[in-house]
Amino acid sequence: MSNRVKGKNSASQRVRAASNAGKGKSTTWIWIVAVVAVVVIGVVVIAVSRGGGSTAGGGASPSGGTVVPNGRLDYGTIKVNGKPLPAYSKDATDAALGTVIPQISGVQFDGKQLDIVPTDGKPKIIMVVAHWCPYCQAEVPRIQKWLNESGMPADVELVTIATANDPSRGNFPAADWLRREKWSVPTIVDDKASQVNDALGVSGFPFFVVTNGKGQVIYRTSGEIGQDEWNQLLAAARSN
């Protein structure tokens, strides 16, 4: 009769068993790391797709225009030539009707010059927005969607003013916000004193000024607008 305990593995068998057990644990950890990596990558992709990162600017937009160019200019350099418009009020007849808007010289987010010349013979819609304004944040993608579907209007000049820029308020800077929306409208960056804002008599955001080819104010309004009123702004610009 043998004194060896039944079922006891030899030293080599125990080494092999330990090695195989180690391999099993190693394989488990590899799978855990792989799953965690996939989850992290998915979270990053979702964050970027939701606007967590800045969209490159200066490229073509589906509207046929150009996405707001690269550059993070928080405040522009502004020159206003002419008499400022009176402040707008919804509760009274607009005192600015028939008045010629001042000429505005400014820069875009990349520092390139952009002027609003009232007497160049072209009707205009000037849209004034603030990065922290929730109504502006709703209006910009709505108008961009219309532009993407209908194209940039050839007979009306559409210009944006990014004003009331404030790093202490949300959605700053305006440049990143507008690029995320792939905003394809030429945009002037107002200065720290919001000179353009004051020159146009802005009383709320978003704000719209419609002029004829002589630079005379045809219509002004403040607040979020719908598709019908946007079409009315275009019709007003084309009416003179």
pLDDT of residue 31: 44
Q: Residue ranges of the chain with pLDDT lower than 50?
A: 1-26, 29-54
Q: How is residue 117 written in tokens?
A: 């010349």
Q: Which residues contact 71 (CB under 8 A, 6 or more apart)?
A: 57, 108, 109, 110, 111, 175
pTM, to two decimals: 0.77
What pairing do the DSSP bridges indicate for beta strands 103-107 and 79-81?
Answer: antiparallel
Task: Tell me the pLDDT tens digit for each residue of 76-116.
Answer: 999 999 999 999 999 999 999 999 999 999 999 999 999 99
SS3 176: helix
Superfamily of domain 57-238: Glutaredoxin (3.40.30.10)
Crossing angle for the helix pair 227-238 and 134-150, to the nearest 10 degrees = 70
pLDDT of residue 4: 39
Report the alpha-carbon distance of residue 74 to residue 222 in Å, rounded.
24
| DSSP single-letter state for residue 186 | -
> How far is residue 103 CA from its own chain's centroid?
26
Main-chain phi, psi angles of 158, to 5 degrees: -110, 120
Dihedral Cα 66, 71, 76, 79, nearest 10 deg: -40
What pairing do the DSSP bridges indicate for beta strands 157-162 and 124-129?
Answer: parallel
